[in-house]
Amino acid sequence: MIRRPPTRNQLLELKRNIYSFEQGKEILEKKRDVLLQLIENDRKGFKDVKSAFLQSCTKIYSSYTLTRLHDGEASISLLGVSIPPSRVSRRLNQAMGCKYPSFFPIEDFPSSTELYDPMLFSLHVDMLIHDLAEARKSLWEYINLHVKLKALEGELRKTLLRINTMEQSILPKLEEERRQIALHLSERERQEQFITKSWLKKKRPTGR
C-alpha cells in the first residue's frame, strides 16, 4: 500500500490535537494541585484524630484491665454478649472526581443500665462502657478520614501518571510528528517554487 504524502490539513489537525492535549494537561495539573492541598489539610486533621483515637484505646485498655481485675473474666464476657453489633449507614462522597464512602453508626452506644445491673458489678464496668462509648466517636472519625485520605492519594497517583504519560510519551510523539510533517511540507513547497521558477524562465520570451 502506497503511503500518501502528508497534507496541510493533517498538520492543522495535528496542531489541534496537540493543543487539546496541552489543555488537558493543564487541567490535570490544576487537579493535582487541588488534590495535594486537600491531602495536606486532611493529613493534619488525621494526625489529631489518630492521636485522639489512640488515647481512647489507652483509656479502654486501662478500664478493661481494672474491670477484669475487680469483676473477673465473667463480667467481660457478659458485657461482650450484651453489646449489640453496630448498624452502620454508608454515604458516598465525591471530591475532584474521586469517590469515597463515609460510614456512620445508626444507633447510639447503649447506656450502662441497658447493658448490666449496676448492683452486680463495680464502677469499673461503668467506666469501661463510658470509655467504649467515647472511643466510638473518634473511631468513626478515624475510619472516615483514613478512607478519604487513601482515596485522594489513589486519585493523585492516577493523576500524576496521566500527566507523566502526556509529558513523556504522548506530547513528544505528537510534536515529533508535527515537526516531520512541517519539514516535509516545507521541502515540498520549496521544490514546487523551484519548479515554478524554472518553468517561468523557460516560458519567458528571449529577445532577438
Angle separating helix axes 123-165 and 8-71, nearest 10 degrees: 170
What per-residue confidence (pLDDT) applies to 156? 96
CA distance 175 to 181: 10
Is pLDDT of 114 > 70? no
pLDDT, the chain, mean: 84
- The C-alpha cell of 81 is what? 454478649
- Residue 10 vs residue 81, higher pLDDT: 10
- Residue 178 vs residue 110, higher pLDDT: 178
- Residue 52 vs residue 206, higher pLDDT: 52
- Residue 83 vs residue 140, higher pLDDT: 140
Q: What is the mean pLDDT of residues 116-135?
A: 75
Q: What is the largest CA-CA distance in the chain?
A: 136
CA distance 149 to 156: 10
Burial 180-198 (b: 16+ CB within 10 A, else e): ebeeebeeeeeeeeeeeee
- The C-alpha cell of 69 is what? 481485675
What per-residue confidence (pLDDT) applies to 41? 94
Architecture of the CATH domain 8-197: Orthogonal Bundle (1.10)
Residue ranges per structural domain of the chain: 8-197
Answer for the pair 83, 51: CB distance below 8 angstroms, yes or no. Answer: no
Is pLDDT of 81 > 70? no
Tell me phi and psi for residue 93, to 5 degrees: -110, 165
Is pLDDT of 1 > 50? no
What's at 9, amino acid-wise?
N
Cα–Cα distance list, 139 to 51, 70, 99, 132, 142 (Å): 11, 27, 21, 10, 5
